[in-house]
Chain A
């Protein structure tokens, strides 16, 4: 359904990215809610640097492209901040890549308020990226509010997966 669409979009984008001569073929992939399809392939062979902890960390952090939030909150916790900073670092190193931040909410509360809340979440991620040094012009935000759940269902486990910002390169 939706997931597949986003997957296809992300996959197409990765192809475009690869085709653009990005030497690091990192695929930002929107996978299933829980187990992210981590496909950060090519980092080690492409960059050719020694396998420092930083690179390993980067690889792991770049393997996820979602950060999650509490109900009615746009506060970014520390682990999420590290994910966002890793993506920021990637953007700084790859100036031909831009990013779209999709803000989402769970289904609770009103659709219009959630549309605003989704934007606030996307903006919270954007602010961290800008503070890290990414040019604001390379970041685009869009809010889908509660309209595009990653997980169907009306329980906390689904809601948790739906309160998210997706980082799409």
Chain B
């Protein structure tokens, strides 16, 4: 079979290929005013920092950005702020700042966050960055604002990996892509005529594990993002799939049917040694690690239908977790290890749910579509990104882990599926 697989690096289209519609927000988001940052420089900056900050905050569903035309003043620094101007338009928080072009491709970014009612500065920073780092700094500013006002870390300075299927003239092309968490700057890291699925971030955010059919059947690969170097790590007889990194990045769990039927195996990345974790004649697949690395959850149909089970890392102590619903699958932990997100079918379609490990309660979060799958927590646990179908097309959507905020992410073309939210990026 002729297969074309191209490993790509460094192709970066200029514009965002993703639009995000907030279909449902928190009724009482925090009213915030983001004043367009002052710019000092001859040529326009490559990115408008304050625009990125404002759209991040809006996208979270937790803020209500006040329209700029209502602003009574446009401060850029501490001394310019007249708090009364902001109380009058009912802003609770205020972001001001400026960008100064220091020299070719060097910018100074300053910003301050104020509590309008307490008339107090909650924080302020100054960074010096290159033009290409301006968006990253904007996401970090948004993360700071989010944490200062919500009380939990933000997850804007992160990335998403996903798979796009494009069909042109009957030719199928699968693209594995990585973009910023707001969909900006998608980079294709693998292109193939054969299916690609299950991207999995290494905990350091430097590698992706994934399943590719480029050799005619499913095999697991690991690819380094920086230099696009990659390695086939599981190519046993039968299926090879569902890669999942341990929190320390040393072990890759995966599914293989090399011993006859799908079981979960653990690959020690450094030595290449493989040990078998599960032992059952049913299907065992979709392993995911607990944040402390002591347990894995997985999908098994050993009871007759797919349900979620938990097992210790040493292969002992298998227990069934889910009993509600006829189909529960593809579970993964939140960063605190208290909840799982999963695909659940309670009789009316495939939906995204959250399972609370302590109370053993299952909450269904989505209800508009019936082919929801591949849920993935943001590294702060606040949002869950997942794949679904709208109007016969694969799209990504996000829901807050309490179900209150919902968004649809619209891509310009193609069928989009298999999202995976990255760990936190390295800070500048």
Contacts and interface: CB of A to CB of B under 8 A. Distances in A.
- Whether chain B is bound by chain A comes out as yes
Interface in B288-343: 299, 301, 305-306, 327, 329-330, 343
Contacts of B172: 1-2
B285 A112 contact: yes
Chain A, interface residues (CB within 8 Å), range: 20 to 34
Given A111-B197, A143-B218, A154-B392, A116 B373 contact: no
A51 B120 CA distance: 96
Interface stretch (A24-32, A57-65, A102-110, A129-137): A102-110
Given A2-B172, A120-B261, A147-B195, A113 B285 contact: yes
B283 A142 contact: no
Interface stretch (B60-68, B101-109, B234-242, B354-362): B234-242
A148 interface: yes
B283 A144 contact: no
Nearest to A9: B1
A49 B328 CA distance: 54
Interface in B269-289: 283, 285-286
Grouping DSSP codes into helix (H, G, I), strand (E, B) and loop, the B interface class, with mixed when no group exceeds half, is strand
22 contacts: A2-B172, A109-B306, A109-B329, A109-B350, A110-B329, A110-B374, A111-B198, A111-B418, A112-B241, A113-B301, A113-B330, A115-B197, A115-B241, A116-B257, A117-B283, A119-B238, A119-B239, A119-B257, A120-B261, A143-B239, A147-B213, A154-B389
Given A1-B171, A116-B283, 10 more contacts: A109-B306, A109-B327, A112-B197, A112-B286, A112-B299, A113-B306, A120-B283, A123-B261, A142-B216, A154-B392
A109 B345 CA distance: 8
Contacts of B238: 119, 141
A109 B239 contact: no
Nearest to B345: A109
A147 B217 CA distance: 11
B379 interface: no
A138 interface: no
Contacts of B261: 119-120, 123
Contacts of A2: 172
A107 B373 CA distance: 10
Interface residues of B, number: 41
Grouping DSSP codes into helix (H, G, I), strand (E, B) and loop, the A interface class, with mixed when no group exceeds half, is mixed
A72 B216 CA distance: 24
Interface of A: 1-2, 4, 9, 72, 107-113, 115-117, 119-120, 123, 141-145, 147-148, 152-154
A145 B257 CA distance: 14
B25 interface: no
